[in-house]
Amino acid sequence: MPLTRWTNKASGWFKQSLPGYCAFCLSPGQVSSGWCQECFDQLPWNLHVCCQCKEPLSHVFANAQMLCDHCQAEKPAFSMVTAELLFEGPVRALIHDFKFHASPRAGMLLAELMLANTPRCLGEGLLPVPMHHMRARERGFNQSYWLSEQLAKRLALPLINAVCVKQLPAQHTLSRKERASNLVGAFRIDGPVPGHLTIIDDVVTTGATGQALATVALRAGATRVDIWAIARTPLTHS
Ligand SMILES: [Zn+2]
Ligand SMILES: [Zn+2]
């Protein structure tokens, strides 16, 4: 179980891995994407999900086209969500190193993991989740923008810019309802936007950020907005 071995290591350990070696188990060989097939297969895949927002579902239904309670109650502003991994184990550790230690090696691996699950239709532009300039100054970079730049280069798509005009409290401390009300008026998009665009985020938690940004993009003239993230938080009762 190479990945289990990796998970037990301290966060940041994978920074020592070298090109040509699996970032997770350090085994050498045919590693063109940064990992070996065995470790890739063992990643925490987000398999039993709402078909619209990709929230993990508590029960596995025979019908694959199942909607979660939230999407059944109200249709989200966004259309498709791609979030193929769960925010846990090695994925959580990688995202932590990327966001809080600004590790470009972790960032590149995460971009590669996203590209390994590229949505079939991305539209005409990528829209990074914007960060308030005070938060960006604190952190030193905006992780969604950094990922979007890598993906845009690889996929030859333009970046569409939005701004965050409201200082938001740390979202993870808030309930689903509080997140949604905090995000009212938080984003602005100036200028024309293409008809179909894809929001880029690192982790989708309740979908409130994507909902708020998609609503603004639709008001700015988009006709379809999708979300493409690395991971979805595991099932909670938020
Ligand atoms: Zn491996
Ligand atoms: Zn849903």
Look at domain 68-232 and name its CATH class.
alpha beta
Q: Where are the domains of the chain?
A: 68-232
Q: Indicate the SS3 state at residue 184.
A: coil
Whether 236 shows a pLDDT value over 80: the answer reads: no
Question: Which ligand neighbours the alpha carbon of 5 most closely?
Answer: 1
- The pLDDT confidence band at residue 234, using thresholds 50, 70 and 90, is confident
Centre of ligand 2 from the C-alpha of residue 167, in Å: 27
Specify the higher pLDDT residue, 234 or 11. 234
Whole-angstrom Cα Rg for the chain: 18
The beta-strand segments (E) located in 167-219 are: 187-188, 196-204
Q: Give the number of other Cβ atoms within 10 Å of residue 187's Cβ.
A: 22
pLDDT (0 to 100) of residue 64? 62
Among residues 121, 155, 160, the alpha carbon closest in space to that of 144 is found at: 160
Question: Which ligand neighbours the alpha carbon of 75 most closely?
Answer: 2
What's the predicted TM-score (pTM) here? Answer: 0.89
Centre of ligand 1 from the C-alpha of residue 149, in Å: 27
- CA 75, CA 73: separation in Å to the nearest integer? 7
Question: Which residues make up the environment of ion ligand 1, defined by Cβ < 5 Å?
Answer: 2, 22, 24-25, 36, 39
Centre of ligand 1 from the C-alpha of residue 24, in Å: 5
